[in-house]
Structure 1
């Protein structure tokens, strides 16, 4: 056992689950398959092989649909140990044939731990049928795998998993299909892993065997598989036992027997495939890390778009609450109803005295001040509600510009609308702000010098006047409106200055505006949190890149120590 290599594989096994790709970005599906495939390979092959370099070799017989894999296995063993598929897609449990001395190793959970062991071939691709066979040399097992190009997803997935768990491949194709794309994708991967491969071209017309073999050898060489062992099996009508003639498979049988006979040869095969597999992991890990970064970036972009929409909503509310917009409707009417619209050229003392006469009962809760407060609450709440609805719509529109964002919105159309409680939350926030304003003016009005004037006007009236000042702080009034709303706002300013003084009024207005902004941002933040929670669920583990980088570094270091100069992965 190589302890450092085993530790590195265990660290990789622990890190791979963090490689998640929830958003359907381009390539995300293949990255999910890659992470799953790597995880299976670590458990199925890398860990057990690193733990026991002298364990029996596993030769996986793989290939395309109808290539004759099962027939070949039976013909090599001269016994019907595996059932050839007749129907397509073939759904049957893979069959592993081994010498009885090796049975314990393959029945354990060390190799292919995710498959259930059985003693019979079942119609279940996740069951591994173990067949002890005394005539097979000890030290080498054959595994009849599903079709790599099966129309059944589960079959294709299992075929790949089994090939990645192999020490060597017995790759079966046919004269009619040896140039198909899918087998060559696998063979290219075999070249990258430097795995020991034999390629068997089955059902070759006898007159074309030499030509096909030469062409296939050329193709293998161009893919870096010039050392692959190539066999050609002639096309024949099978006898009643369904097996190929002994002479047709004798070369294959002798090659496998040679591999199994010498412990040094088996060890060489095991080390070659293990080293090549380790070498192939580093670029795959980099691919996963880069994919995670793209996922993070996509989630951050979606989050940024939602934040921008709600930041804009808060800004829109504060602009409307300070540029005179609120003084163009019912609030202005209610304020005028309270204080009148007389000439503004009279002295401020006379004006305040007249107003004080009119409003001496306000602090006792007369209907006019109550109507004024309701108008403020209703109109400012409506502005906030409209801004919240616009932010939700803006977020949904911006998210829908990408396929992954569009999928999220399609899965939850309510994201384009405010939450069901938002309107009430907005109204409560505005009412709470009005209460904040009343507490603010009460605190400011406790001084003895201003107490008489403050009591003469009343807390509610002073509070309303302060709100009017806040509503016109940025002077966003048109010339036509200055005469009415502008004069009204100026009167509110003079009333407050008469009670608190000019500097205090400015500070009170700024404080009231800041309190309003905090209330607005608070209720909109509650709405924004809907998107944040959703994106948090989609976000990948922020520690995932570090875990994978650490696992890759540990694997590189362990590989340098584990393999000699001939087999060391070039990392």
Structure 2
């Protein structure tokens, strides 16, 4: 494979990778990176691919500059014919006008050059269209484009002007004696210097008495900014003739320079190679900038995801603490359990009273109202704890995200993320009901075997499940004073009751498993609410592998360019 074909392939790879450079989060540099990605994509499509594919294609010389610099008048004056219409309104040139020899028109009418622009035979006020003018008096091998103003008040005009300049083999940059030091033109000229683009600067409307002084100063500015090789032409300020053209004598030097380029194939090739090589050399830094920007987007999203996950993980830990420190044995749950077992001095001789308790409680399993009341108390109280944890997690996530501007923007667009989801209350209640079923299943599974089954039947599965829940909540870490004695005695009775059925070791394992099951249910319920935040973040995630593809495209272009320009003997490639 030739070096040139490798370069074409590298440009194709880069063109395929650039759409992955997405910057949806409004980070500080996001807008400039979006503009860079769009600009680079246009440059690859409009200029780099077609020029690398056909090195000897006609040169594209773009006539660009500031509003009112006289670009259209200059083009007409160079061609000595009215091929583009100057205007008195601003912005003057809306759609670009491309003038070429009839022998070159097929190239410029094809989609190989500026494929995003509509071709037209008339000049339109539409930045998406480009007029093609066949002009036999223009030498073949060189086309002129009258471009929109680089400082137009119309954003579409400015964007198109920038796109055309980056698609050019050669710039004819038009400025005036009054505005040659303006910042906007120099931004473009400095970009040309960075890419080593062949540039001609035309100082238009220069007072005759100040031509030497102004042109000298502009030449010094060009030299100081890396454009010492730029061709500088000064056009004196004169009253236009009836044909509204600059006198031929004032533009003859520019016409001669362009004529030599068009007529000498070696000169055209040198211009094409110099601009192509310089553009390629500048691309790697731009691609690396895009890659770093994508990484910053990914890092910001990862940080936001970590904030959300931490908030919901902390919420699960709060539920675990609340269900393991004894605090659940306050209020309604304790009261309902005491309704079932009684409030007497049950600490004495518990083992001797187990048989009596069985007789006393055997009629309450499977739907006894007091047992059902306790189940409801557990469900309501625990669901409320979980609901409160979900609300706290959503609020904590919102507080963490609000520390950045992009986080605040996201919350402003999705204000519901600052509170638990609309259906989270039902999700929490369903999770607790499911856990209560898990507890009953644990008890039932533990009673395998005829003897254990008989013992369980003596008190009932539901009562055993209620006792196991009390044991799970048994720690007294959150209780004080008289509560410790009441809750401790209550949980001890529940534990002894279960030990009488299953044995001491089995009860401990049952309680541990039941607590793990509760945490699983809690975490699953919180994960449902966390998923709302993750889904929003995923919508900003961009294409997977974007960073790797951009890095690979830059590396492929670097290797291909070295081979291609060695083949084409372009010394400008070496910094």
Q: Which residue of 2 aligns with 1:288?
A: 290
Q: What is the deviation of 1:474?
A: 6.8
Q: Which residue of 2 aligns with 1:255?
A: 257
Q: What secondary structure, in the 3-state scheme, does the structure 2 residue paired with 1:410 have?
A: helix
Q: What is the deviation of 1:342?
A: 1.5
Q: What is the deviation of 1:473?
A: 4.1
Moved more, 264-273 or 552-561: 552-561
Following the alignment from structure 2 to structure 1, what is the Cα–Cα distance between the partners of residues 19 and 470? 58
- Answer yes or no: is the 8 Å Cα contact 1:125–1:154 preserved in 2: yes
Q: What secondary structure, in the 3-state scheme, does the structure 2 residue paired with 1:80 have?
A: coil
Q: What is the deviation of 1:352?
A: 2.6
Following the alignment from structure 1 to structure 2, what is the Cα–Cα distance between the partners of residues 555 and 59? 25
Q: Which residue of 2 aligns with 1:459?
A: 461
Distance 1:76 1:432, change over 3 A: same
Following the alignment from structure 1 to structure 2, what is the Cα–Cα distance between the partners of residues 335 and 490? 12
Equivalent in 46, 49, 58 of residue 48 of structure 2: 46
- Answer yes or no: is the 8 Å Cα contact 2:476–2:488 preserved in 1: no
Distance 1:16 1:349, change over 3 A: same
Distance 1:198 1:568, change over 3 A: closer
Q: What is the deviation of 1:351?
A: 3.7
Equivalent in 82, 89, 96 of residue 87 of structure 1: 89
Q: Which residue of 2 aligns with 1:494?
A: 496
* Mapping 1:354-373, distance limit 5 Å: 354-373=356-375
* Mapping 1:400-439, distance limit 5 Å: 400-439=402-441
Moved more, 126-135 or 317-326: 317-326
Following the alignment from structure 2 to structure 1, what is the Cα–Cα distance between the partners of residues 239 and 468? 101
- Answer yes or no: is the 8 Å Cα contact 2:312–2:390 preserved in 1: yes
Q: What secondary structure, in the 3-state scheme, does the structure 1 residue paired with 2:273 have?
A: helix
Q: What secondary structure, in the 3-state scheme, does the structure 1 residue paired with 2:27 have?
A: coil
* Mapping 1:3-402, distance limit 5 Å: 3-90=5-92, 92-402=94-404
Q: What secondary structure, in the 3-state scheme, does the structure 2 residue paired with 1:243 have?
A: coil
- Answer yes or no: is the 8 Å Cα contact 1:271–1:567 preserved in 2: no
1:569 aligns with 2:564: no
Q: What secondary structure, in the 3-state scheme, does the structure 2 residue paired with 1:247 have?
A: helix
- Answer yes or no: is the 8 Å Cα contact 2:62–2:165 preserved in 1: yes
Q: What is the deviation of 1:257?
A: 0.9
Cα deviation code 1:441-498 (max 9, x no counterpart) = 0111233333333212111111011011111247432234201112111211111111
Following the alignment from structure 1 to structure 2, what is the Cα–Cα distance between the partners of residues 145 and 351? 101
Following the alignment from structure 2 to structure 1, what is the Cα–Cα distance between the partners of residues 430 and 5? 64
- Answer yes or no: is the 8 Å Cα contact 2:203–2:233 preserved in 1: yes
Following the alignment from structure 1 to structure 2, what is the Cα–Cα distance between the partners of residues 311 and 379? 21
1:508 aligns with 2:510: yes
- Answer yes or no: is the 8 Å Cα contact 2:274–2:570 preserved in 1: no
Q: What secondary structure, in the 3-state scheme, does the structure 2 residue paired with 1:359 have?
A: helix
Q: What secondary structure, in the 3-state scheme, does the structure 2 residue paired with 1:370 have?
A: helix
- Answer yes or no: is the 8 Å Cα contact 2:366–2:462 preserved in 1: no
- Answer yes or no: is the 8 Å Cα contact 1:295–1:540 preserved in 2: no
Q: Which residue of 2 aligns with 1:440?
A: 442
Q: Which residue of 1 aligns with 2:470?
A: 468
Following the alignment from structure 1 to structure 2, what is the Cα–Cα distance between the partners of residues 480 and 98? 100
Following the alignment from structure 2 to structure 1, what is the Cα–Cα distance between the partners of residues 353 and 201? 104
| Structure 1 segments (4+ residues) deviating >4 Å | none
Equivalent in 521, 533, 536 of residue 534 of structure 1: 536
Q: What is the deviation of 1:433?
A: 0.5
Moved more, 411-420 or 214-223: 411-420
- Answer yes or no: is the 8 Å Cα contact 1:204–1:235 preserved in 2: yes
Q: What is the deviation of 1:67?
A: 0.8
Moved more, 460-469 or 439-448: 439-448
Q: What is the deviation of 1:209?
A: 1.2
Q: What is the deviation of 1:239?
A: 2.6
Q: What is the deviation of 1:379?
A: 0.7
- Root mean square deviation, CA, Å: 1.4
Q: What secondary structure, in the 3-state scheme, does the structure 1 residue paired with 2:571 have?
A: coil
Equivalent in 436, 449, 452 of residue 451 of structure 2: 449
- Answer yes or no: is the 8 Å Cα contact 1:67–1:202 preserved in 2: yes
Q: What secondary structure, in the 3-state scheme, does the structure 2 residue paired with 1:360 have?
A: helix
- Answer yes or no: is the 8 Å Cα contact 1:220–1:226 preserved in 2: yes
Following the alignment from structure 1 to structure 2, what is the Cα–Cα distance between the partners of residues 9 and 204? 42
Following the alignment from structure 1 to structure 2, what is the Cα–Cα distance between the partners of residues 15 and 360? 73
Cα deviation code 1:322-344 (max 9, x no counterpart) = 11121112111111111122124
Following the alignment from structure 2 to structure 1, what is the Cα–Cα distance between the partners of residues 229 and 181? 18
Q: What is the deviation of 1:19?
A: 0.9
Following the alignment from structure 1 to structure 2, what is the Cα–Cα distance between the partners of residues 132 and 261? 18
- Answer yes or no: is the 8 Å Cα contact 1:324–1:477 preserved in 2: yes
Cα deviation code 1:172-197 (max 9, x no counterpart) = 11111111111111111101111100
Moved more, 189-198 or 526-535: 526-535
- Answer yes or no: is the 8 Å Cα contact 2:291–2:547 preserved in 1: yes
Following the alignment from structure 2 to structure 1, what is the Cα–Cα distance between the partners of residues 88 and 320? 74
- The count of residues paired between Structure 1 and Structure 2 equals 571
**TM-score w.r.t. structure 1 length?**
0.98
Distance 1:124 1:542, change over 3 A: same
Distance 1:366 1:555, change over 3 A: same
